[in-house]
């Protein structure tokens, strides 16, 4: 089962959900604002894609963090701690395809998977 992780009001997640629906892809949605992100799941994402890719440093949530919190992110462990405390700083969507993950929405890459 494909699992799309994100938050429902995110524009990129909305595009991703629309794309999956338009292509007849059956998936489960995991709202990590409401349901959280299990630490072991986040660790798998960081290992598979790299914590630098999973951590969204371009988003509003990151920009609203104080300089000390931003400076405190220097490795996978510190990035994961921040992402667990502030799930909105995770780049969205994260999709578990069953045979790997993708971070962010890329229609071309997704088309190759379905």
State what percent of residues in the chain have pLDDT above 90. Answer: 98
State what percent of residues in the chain have pLDDT above 70. Answer: 100
Active site includes 79?
Answer: no
Distances (CA, A) of 74 to 38, 49, 51, 70, 77: 21, 16, 10, 9, 8
DSSP 11-40: HHHHHHHHHHHHTT--EEEEETTTS---HH
Spot the catalytic one: 2, 7, 8, 10.
10
Per-residue pLDDT of 45-98, as tens digits, reads 999 999 999 999 999 999 999 999 999 999 999 999 999 999 999 999 999 999
Q: Which architecture does CATH list for 2-113?
A: 3-Layer(aba) Sandwich (3.40)
Model's pTM, two decimal places? 0.93
CA atoms lying within 13 Å on the CB side of residue 70 = 12
Angle at the Cα of 102 from the Cα atoms of 100 and 108, rounded to 5 degrees: 110
Distances (CA, A) of 106 to 14, 52, 55: 13, 18, 17
Average pLDDT, the chain: 96
At 15, the pLDDT band (50, 70, 90 cuts) reads: very high
Instruction: Determine the length of the chain.
Output: 114
pLDDT in the model for residue 91:
98
Domain map of the chain by residue range?
2-113
């Amino acid at each position: 089962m494909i699992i799309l992780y994100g938050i429902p009001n995110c524009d990129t997640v909305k595009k991703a959900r629309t794309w999956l629906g338009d292509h007849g892809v059956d998936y489960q949605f995991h709202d990590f604002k409401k349901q959280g992100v299990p630490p072991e799941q986040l660790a798998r994402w960081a290992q598979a894609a790299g914590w630098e890719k999973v951590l969204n440093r371009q988003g509003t949530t990151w920009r609203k963090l104080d300089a000390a919190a931003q400076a405190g992110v220097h490795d996978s462990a510190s990035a994961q701690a921040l992402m667990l405390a502030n799930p909105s700083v995770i780049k969205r969507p994260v999709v578990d395809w069953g045979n790997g993950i993708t971070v962010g929405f890329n229609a071309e890459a997704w088309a190759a998977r379905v």
